[in-house]
């Protein structure tokens, strides 16, 4: 047997070593073995045996347990941990005079120094944040005009009313939105050598198109592409197209764009009340609109990752992207299953 612990007791686990001390001491005290004989059997120095005996006579068996080193005192205490978590979750750097709404390790290190007079590394702060179940994430941006009370009123009152009107008219509810798509739209990542970003050919030409789209929970998808500014006339033309193609009356749910509420549009809807009604989302709450995901899909997941040469090429690829999405029912339905759009799945007409 040539295990390391047989020649070096420092490698024996602490709990085992505590038992060895007690066995050795009680062999001497209770069974009258000589300290020297016990030391030789256990391959322990005579000096160590006498130290154990002294500890036993002063403090009993408990004194023979291995004492854990206290270690360095905590710099970031539990109290500071609580402050860190509350600060990150319930305030922003702007509240402390910084020109940003995003927390960084550098800012937190500076605040710890200023408030608690402690100097720590960013990596130390990061370790504490992970232990507090905090992580660095891409934030969900919300406009300054967002009104939670207006959103609550929409979800509890206006949306059930929309469903009720749809039920009475035997109509389908369509969520509508519009967006501009430019030749220079691009996003996405690719692989390359570290610290050497890959070069990807891209157009620097200006120009683009405006598009309107509307979707239903039953996977119907309507769209149109315009080479001009979208106003009341273009919007009415889009609504006419849907009315002509959709087999049932429609309820349009849209945002507060000025042309959505223009007199010309109101007159059109009023003149076709048996076929169409309009309701509106809360202001500055685009996440409640499932149709917003059409642009995320078309602009960022498809077009922005494809090589687009010029405006003509953009229209070809834009049309192709719309057609692919129109035939992907599962993808369209998934837009209604997001955290902020699941309310559309609940049936609660008033």
DSSP-assigned beta bridge partners for residue 181: 209
Q: What is the number of other CB atoms lying within 10 angstroms of the CB of residue 95?
A: 10
Rg of the chain (C-alpha set): 35
pLDDT of residue 159: 96
Q: Which residues contact 249 (CB under 8 A, 6 or more apart)?
A: 169, 170, 171, 172, 274, 275, 276, 277
pLDDT of residue 330: 93
pLDDT of residue 1: 43
72 is a domain residue:
no
Q: For residue 6, which phi and psi values (nearest 5 degrees)? A: -70, -25
**CATH at 155:** 3.30.420.10
* Domain match, 284 and 169 both: yes
pTM: 0.63
* Domain match, 162 and 113 both: no
Do 284 and 147 form a contact (C-beta atoms < 8 A)?
A: yes
pLDDT of residue 8: 63
Tokens, residue 138:
């891409």
Domain that holds residue 8: 4-64
* Domain match, 166 and 293 both: yes
pLDDT of residue 183: 62
Extract the residue ranges of the chain whose pLDDT is less than 50.
1-2, 188, 203
* Domain match, 163 and 105 both: no
Burial class (CB in 10 A: 0-12, 13-18, 19+), 42: middle
CA separation for the pair 277, 290 (Å, rounded) = 18
């Amino acid at each position: 047997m040539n295990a390391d612990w047989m020649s070096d007791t420092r490698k024996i686990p602490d709990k085992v070593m505590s038992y060895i001390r007690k066995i050795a001491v009680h062999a001497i005290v209770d069974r009258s073995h000589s300290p020297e004989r016990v030391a030789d059997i256990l391959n322990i120095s005579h000096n160590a045996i006498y130290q154990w005996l002294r500890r036993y006579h002063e403090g009993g068996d408990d004194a023979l347990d291995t004492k854990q080193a206290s270690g360095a005192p905590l710099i970031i205490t539990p109290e500071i941990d609580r402050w860190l978590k509350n600060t990150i979750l319930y305030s922003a750097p702007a509240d402390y005079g910084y020109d940003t709404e995003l927390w960084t390790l550098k800012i937190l290190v500076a605040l710890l120094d200023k408030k608690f007079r402690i100097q720590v590394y960013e990596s130390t702060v990061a370790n504490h944040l992970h232990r507090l179940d905090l992580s660095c994430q891409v934030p969900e941006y919300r406009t300054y005009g967002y009104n939670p009370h207006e959103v609550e009123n929409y979800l509890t009152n206006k949306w059930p009313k929309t469903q009720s009107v749809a039920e009475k008219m035997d109509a389908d509810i369509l969520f509508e939105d519009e967006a501009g798509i430019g030749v220079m739209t691009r996003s996405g990542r690719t692989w390359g050598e570290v610290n050497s970003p890959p070069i990807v050919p891209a157009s620097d030409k200006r120009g683009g198109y405006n598009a309107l789209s509307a979707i239903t929970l039953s996977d119907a998808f309507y769209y149109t592409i315009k080479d001009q500014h979208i106003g009341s006339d273009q919007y009415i033309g889009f609504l006419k197209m849907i009315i002509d193609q959709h087999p049932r009356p429609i309820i349009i749910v849209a945002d507060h764009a000025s042309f959505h509420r223009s007199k010309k549009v109101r007159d059109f809807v009023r003149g076709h009340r048996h076929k169409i009604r309009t309701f509106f989302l809360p202001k500055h709450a685009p996440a409640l609109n499932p149709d917003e995901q059409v642009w995320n899909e078309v602009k960022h997941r498809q077009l922005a990752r494809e090589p687009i040469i010029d405006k003509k090429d953009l229209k070809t690829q834009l049309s192709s992207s719309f057609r692919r999405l129109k035939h992907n029912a599962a993808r369209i339905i998934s837009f209604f299953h997001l955290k902020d759009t699941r309310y559309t799945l609940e049936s609660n007409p008033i």
